[in-house]
Amino acid sequence: MKDIILQYLGFLNTPNLWLNTSNFKMQQWQLSNTPADLSSSENHKLRLGKLVERFVSQQLKQDDTVSILIENIQIQNEKLTIGELDCLLKKDEQAIHLEIVYKFYLYDATVGTTEIDHWIGPNRKDSLVQKLAKLEEKQLPLLYHKHTKPVLEKLDLQVAEIKQQVCFKAQLFVPFSKQNVPFKAINSSCVKGFYITQKELPQFADCQFFIPEKRDWLIDIPTHNLWQSYHTFLETLKLLLNQEKAPLCWLKKPNGETEKCFVVWW
């Protein structure tokens, strides 16, 4: 239960990736930062993506102006699943289709030509540009698909009256050697740490480390952990890097200060 609470608080402390629609076509949903009651939660069984969806749901349920109509709606053509709508709700009687996103991106200026282009996944398998395209071209248009119409009819909703928003939160990481990069398109408050290459690791030889499991990536670094020495950490790290996996790590300096960082294989 303690881990769930730490994950939940870390989620709440994660800002929206953008604050206005000037650089993005999608309007952000502003979640309340007031923690909900997790005492009856079964969230400890969920993977990170589904866990975040549950956290969003719990925040929505404690908002008196919001009524959730349906969540995780599978849109199907006979037995073929076309896609899924994360949430349909009403806020002050306004119907809203809400898509939920939580991502971890690293800033690589060698990718693309714009600030938005430069944000990529830790293993270089995804990017902010790809996710935005998926939202704009697949996930949000699903509301208007002919096979979505029966779902809306059961809820007595007219598609033309439904507004669309996203709850897009992210933790961002910048190169260790260039941590003062100014950002204009995204919310700089999302920057939670830095990333380093294997070659840069020796300068942290006097630090201790911990590699959390994926769900715990949400957590703001706790002050108590089974910290590993630099050399013990390297043994675990090399196994991951050899598999082309870039782990998120918690780092504790000799003065007790803690930071989040990714160690990348590329």
CA angle 210, 213, 219 (to 5 degrees): 80
Domain identity same for 124 and 93: yes
Q: Is the pLDDT of residue 37 over 70?
A: yes
Q: In this predicted structure, what is the pLDDT of residue 220?
A: 94
pLDDT in the model for residue 92: 95
Domain limit, last residue, from 176, 208, 229: 176
Q: Tell whether 105 is covered by a domain.
A: yes
**Average pLDDT for residues 177-190, to the nearest whole number?**
90
Number of domains making up the chain: 2
Instruction: Please tell me whether residues 231 and 101 are part of one structural domain.
Output: no
* Res. 41: pLDDT tops 80: no
- Pair type for strands 80-91 and 119-120: unpaired
Let me know if residue 187 belongs to a domain: no
Q: Report whether pLDDT(27) > 90.
A: yes
pLDDT at 242: 96
Say yes or no: 100 and 215 in one domain: no
At residue 248, the pLDDT reads 98
What is the C-alpha to C-alpha distance for residues 168 and 190, in angstroms, rounded to an integer? 11
Residue that terminates a domain, selected from 121, 144, 176: 176
Task: Identify the sign of the CA torsion 154, 159, 161, 162.
Answer: positive
Rounded average pLDDT over 199-219: 96
Distance of CA 116 to the CA centre of its chain: 16
Choose between 44 and 5: higher pLDDT.
5
- The last residue of one of the domains, among 141, 176, 211, is 176
**pLDDT for 168:** 98
Residue 183 maps to a domain: no
**What pLDDT, on the 0 to 100 scale, is given for residue 39?**
65
For residue 182, tell me if it sits in a domain.
Answer: no
Distance CA 201, CA 237 (A): 11
Are residues 241 and 235 in contact, defined by beta-carbon separation less than 8 angstroms? no
Residues 157 and 224 in one domain: no
SS3 state of residue 238: helix
Residue 204 — φ and ψ, nearest 5°?
Answer: -110, 20
Instruction: Average the pLDDT over each of 25-34, 39-48, 194-203, 246-255 and give the range with the smallest value.
Output: 39-48
Q: What is the pLDDT of residues 126-180, one digit of tens each?
A: 999 999 999 999 999 999 999 999 999 999 999 999 999 999 999 999 999 888 8
Q: Higher-confidence residue: 225 or 57?
A: 57
Q: What is the mean pLDDT of the chain?
A: 94
Coil/strand/helix, residue 136 = helix
Q: Does one domain contain both 135 and 258?
A: no
Q: Which residue range is the domain that position 162 belongs to?
A: 2-176
Q: Are residues 107 and 64 in the same domain?
A: yes
Residue 23: its pLDDT value, please? 78
SS3 of residue 51 by DSSP: helix
